[in-house]
A and B are shown apart, each in its own frame.
Chain A
Amino acid sequence: MSTIKIELREQDVAKIREICASFNNDPQELINVLHKCQQHFGYLPAEVQEVVSAELTVPVAKIYGVVTFYSFFTMTPKGKYPVSICMGTACYVRGAEKVLDEFRKELGIQVGETTKDGKFSLSSLRCVGACGLAPVVLVGEKTYGRVAPDDVKGILKDYEQ
């Protein structure tokens, strides 16, 4: 597992402490604390987990265990334009995997990763409730329906500038 090394600024540490304090530094509130931290930083780098560990007196190994258990938590920053491909049953049978492969190829990243320029990140999700449009791709808030592998280049072009 590759982790990104970052250095926290003093105000970042203060923010994490403030979040922990708002839950009375209660170890039982770990998930809520991580939730708020991710909301603030966009992701949960190792350094953030270490400060949470010190504040809540929960071993950092345990925190890492929680972060890697729940798919909601992420240790890599999301791109400016997060790309999500629906892999729910309907999308899957209509070729979502080929679409995902095309995004992988075009962006040069795997699911869960972010492009070096920080522009795009790639993730897969299960059913967005638009099965009639299968296969479905989300870029940020925008939905693309009936996506074929050949459409991928065009979709990415929308975000070029």
Chain B
Amino acid sequence: MMETVKLNIDNREVEVQKGTTILKAAKELGIEIPTLCYMHLHDLNIENKPGGCRICVAEVQGRRNLAPTCSTKCEEGMVVKTHTTRVLNARRTVMEFILSDHPKDCLICPKSGTCELQDMAHRLGIREIPGQEYAEVSTYRKDTSPSIIRELDKCIMCRRCETMCNDVQTVGALSAINRGFMATVAPAFEQNLEHSTCTYCGQCVAVCPTGALTEVNHVPQVLRALADPSKTVIVQTAPAVRAALGEEFGMPAGTLVTGKMAAALRSLGFDYVFDTDFAADLTIMEEGTELLDRLGRHLKGDSSARIPILTSCCPGWVNFFEHYFPDLKDVPSTAKSPQQMFGAIAKTYFADKIGVNRKDLVVVSIMPCLAKKYECQRDEFSVDNNPDVDFSISTRELATFIKQANIDLNNLQDEDFDAPLGESTGAGVIFGATGGVIEAACRTAYELYTGKKLERLDFTELRGMEGVREATLDFDGTPIRIGIAHGLGNARKLLDDVRSGTSTFHAIEVMACPGGCIGGGGQPLHHGNSDIIKARATAIYAEDRKKPLRKSHENPFIIKLYEEFLGKPNSEKAHHLLHTHYFDKKKKIIVKQ
């Protein structure tokens, strides 16, 4: 039996569990106290409540100061008023102080329209900032990395990014530093993000309430390529994009816009509209074959076969293990991510097919992800300085691109992807949700391993939102143990077990972002509402069920690709084009000899 306390908020009685904050108690009564720095990610059980911004203050009878409700616990008999004149004046004054040290170039800020600070100024009716002419304004250099821009003049020290980077992702690239006006959030020694342990997962960008953390915008480069008549420009779209893009156009979360998205891309001027899902099917062929090879040798007692095999589609995850687990870099699959497999095939097989030199072929990817921007710039993914994937833009960037072009997404007629790199199975689609890659791999691996037809395609035991999941699948008498982690903090738990030799899994899927790609750092902002992520997952699985083919190895264009070009999975040519290697990025301590 939990102990409870009774209190009075705005003349209404409420009884809550001991330890509940005033903010949450008020919420139970339907009173929404405005908050700014506060963030609550229910499914992750993560709360950011530094009590720093003081927007959420309320009057507590008998208390001299106003109380920050996000971090003040309810007490028996408390009398709270959340909208007295004193409270409203205090909130406005706090907001004026925050804004006095904030740039006023909202019109041209990348966050304009989706900025929580802007919304709060609007909600509190701020129309002037008294004393602005005397206010000290802090400035900080701008830091541009391959994926993320830090513009800390716009930081309001809510420290949400720090919570994501440290508590959720355990990356530890960002921390609050300095004091007073010099206070900001930065990597160690204020080095650039590029030189820190940042994985570019983009979860900091996803929660930043202002324009302090944003993605590098690649839309202008894409526009330039589209305007260049000497270039053939093709586009690939990741599975998670279709399940979220609609939100930017006012559609409810979980609306699938696959056909409208294809139509919009064609209307933007792309010469071929393809699908990363095709490359996802290809990934399953390569990764699945590697899995069966390693698993087969392991089950026969070959101790040189590294088990478990780890998925390698997620570039944030790849960066993470290169920084933190370089000693295990032979454990993940060597298969490239779908984005990079697509690029490699597009600039060889497809370029030859249409008779275009790879230098005149521009490959653009639409990704739910910011780490993909960095991934496509990796040296090993280019040939003679020509990258396999030229530009990667996020779901959010695509949305602004479509709006700029005056395309009414809502009223577009559905169109199909182009052949041959636009054809995919349901297995490719579910890559977008946590557990999806390993489910897709198991659909193919089961049939190849047992030689039997898989009757039940939905491995529901692999689905869900728990941070770490495990399941044992029956491969016709052979139990196959699967581990799944999403969020890098959860991945770290499974990796620690692999390092210490206590892991009992045969295969592990890791996605850097909570929820998988559908919760990626490049997706429409969900402001901590995990129902949105769940709705996107439902949409992904619905698309899978609609597909006539749901197993990667049954994709006729994949079969043709192997017949015409690659030979068979893990062939020498496939290895050359579709596999990669990893680097040790762990920071070394240099000792003078």
Contacts and interface: CB of A to CB of B under 8 A. Distances in A.
Nearest to A51: B589
Interface of A (DSSP majority class): helix
Interface in B160-208: 166, 171-179, 186-190, 196-197
B176 to A, nearest CB: 5
B591 A9 contact: yes
Contacts of B187: 61
Given A9-B591, A13-B589, 20 more contacts: A3-B189, A8-B589, A8-B590, A8-B591, A8-B592, A47-B589, A51-B589, A59-B171, A59-B188, A60-B188, A61-B172, A61-B173, A61-B177, A62-B166, A62-B172, A64-B188, A64-B189, A65-B176, A68-B178, A69-B178
- Which 5 A-B pairs give the minimum distances between C-beta atoms? A59-B172, A61-B175, A65-B175, A7-B592, A60-B188
A47 B175 contact: no
B590 A47 contact: yes
A63 interface: yes
A8 B593 CA distance: 9
A49 B178 CA distance: 16
A10 interface: yes
Contacts of A61: 172-175, 177, 186-188, 196
A17 to B, nearest CB: 11
Number of contact residues on B: which range applies?
Answer: 20 to 34
Contacts of A46: 188-189
Interface of B (DSSP majority class): loop
A61 B193 CA distance: 11
Number of contact residues on A: which range applies?
Answer: 20 to 34
A50 B587 contact: yes
A63 B189 CA distance: 10
A93 interface: no
Contacts of B174: 61
B160 to A, nearest CB: 16
B189 to A, nearest CB: 5
19 contacts: A1-B189, A10-B591, A10-B592, A13-B589, A51-B589, A54-B589, A58-B172, A59-B173, A59-B175, A59-B188, A59-B197, A60-B188, A60-B587, A61-B173, A61-B187, A62-B172, A65-B175, A65-B177, A68-B177
A88 to B, nearest CB: 18
A47 B197 CA distance: 16
A49 to B, nearest CB: 7
A54 B186 CA distance: 19
Interface in B568-593: 587, 589-592
Interface of A: 1, 3, 7-10, 13, 46-47, 49-51, 54, 58-65, 68-69
Interface in B105-134: none
Nearest to B179: A69
- Which of B171, B196, B590 is most buried by chain A, counting CB atoms within 10 A of its CB? B590
Nearest to A49: B188
Contacts of B173: 59, 61
A66 B590 CA distance: 23
Contacts of A68: 177-179
- Which of A46, A61, A62 is most buried by chain B, counting CB atoms within 10 A of its CB? A61
A46 B187 CA distance: 12
A1 B188 CA distance: 11
Contacts of A65: 175-177
B170 to A, nearest CB: 9
Contacts of A1: 189-190
Contacts of B178: 68-69
A69 B177 contact: yes
A27 B6 CA distance: 38
A1 B178 CA distance: 11
Interface in B333-391: none
Contacts of A3: 189
A112 to B, nearest CB: 12
A69 B175 CA distance: 11
Nearest to A5: B590
Contacts of B179: 68-69
